[in-house]
Structures are given as C-alpha cells and as structure tokens.
Amino acid sequence: MRITRFPLLTILAFAAVAGVVLALVIFFPGSVSGAAQPPAHPRPMQPASGITPKTHAAIAFSTQDVQHYVLTHEFPSGAVLPGHTIKILSIKLMTRQQADEQGHELGAYSTTKWVYVVTLEGPFYTTYVKALGSFPSTALKGYEVFDAHTGDTLEWGIP
C-alpha cells in the first residue's frame, strides 16, 4: 500500500501544531486564554530585606522605626518558638567602625557611615542558619545590623 506525500505531510503538520498548542496549554495556561491566571500555589510574600527609609538624610529613620520593623518581621534565623514573643534587649545607633570594634564584620560596607545594632531575645528557631557540623535547633539570643541611611539589613546572627 502506497501513501502519497501530500496527505502524509498534512498529517505531520497537523500533529506538530497540535503538539505546540498542547505544550502551551500545559506549561503556559495563561498564554492560551489571553488572561493571566494566578499560580495554583501562590508564594507567600517575603518582606523586604531591611527598613524602608523615609528621607535621604544620613540617618533616615528613628529607633522607633527600627523597633517597629524588628517586631513585625520574622528574625532572619527563623521564627520565634510558639508560646514566646520576641523581646528587644537594645537598639544602638553607632558608626560602622564602632560596630566593627564590637565584633561585627562590616568592612565590606565602605559607604555605610551609621548603623543600628539590635540585640534580641527569643528563643528562635535556627532554620536558616548555615553552619558546619551540628548546630542547635534553637537559639536564645540574636542580633541584626541595619544601615541607618538605606535601611538594608547588613548582618544578622546568633551569638
């Protein structure tokens, strides 16, 4: 039985078009209907990495702004253990050099002049702490360092 080329090419072309349409429907569902659709499992919104400054001054926000941010955002190492609340032990405004003298490693931030160093009490999970060897799953205290001009989180950790 002999198949002519024209019907065979038509069937192959139809199969190719159907395959492209099927791939679009499966991998890009919004592109076929014309309207963007939300993903089936939307990602939770992540807070910005730091405080949003209110002015262009060298110190662009207050101690109260730092306190509000720390109390309304999860500590970077992990959440506070259930049944506990975060407690701010201190918020200190100092120069980057003073923070370096206290053991913070901010040398790479050469344009930073002023920082807020926040000392916290948890206990916190250490979910996002990367360390060699075994590491406890919780920590009692932690700290965060913010650029006082940009609001960026420069450093965080647990002692």
Q: Please give the tally of structural domains in the chain.
A: 2
**150 shares a domain with 83:** yes
Does residue 70 register a pLDDT over 90?
A: yes
Range of the structural domain that residue 34 is part of: 1-43
Name the strands in the sheet holding 153-157, side by side, starting at the edge strand that comes first in the sequence: 87-95, 114-125, 138-147, 153-157
**141 shares a domain with 75:** yes
Check: CB of residue 92 under 8 Å from CB of residue 102: no
Rama region for 78: left / alpha / beta (φ>0; ψ in -120 to 50; rest)? left
Task: Say how many Å lie between the first and final Cα of the chain, rounded.
Answer: 82
* CA 39/CA 148 separation, integer angstroms: 37
Higher pLDDT, 39 or 33: 33
**140 shares a domain with 67:** yes
The burial class, CB within 10 Å (0-12 / 13-18 / 19+), for 138 is middle
Does residue 115 register a pLDDT over 60?
A: yes
**pLDDT tens track for 15-36:** 777 776 666 656 555 444 444 3
* CA 86/CA 70 separation, integer angstroms: 9
Higher pLDDT, 123 or 33: 123
Which CB contacts under 8 angstroms, 24+ apart, belong to 36-45? none
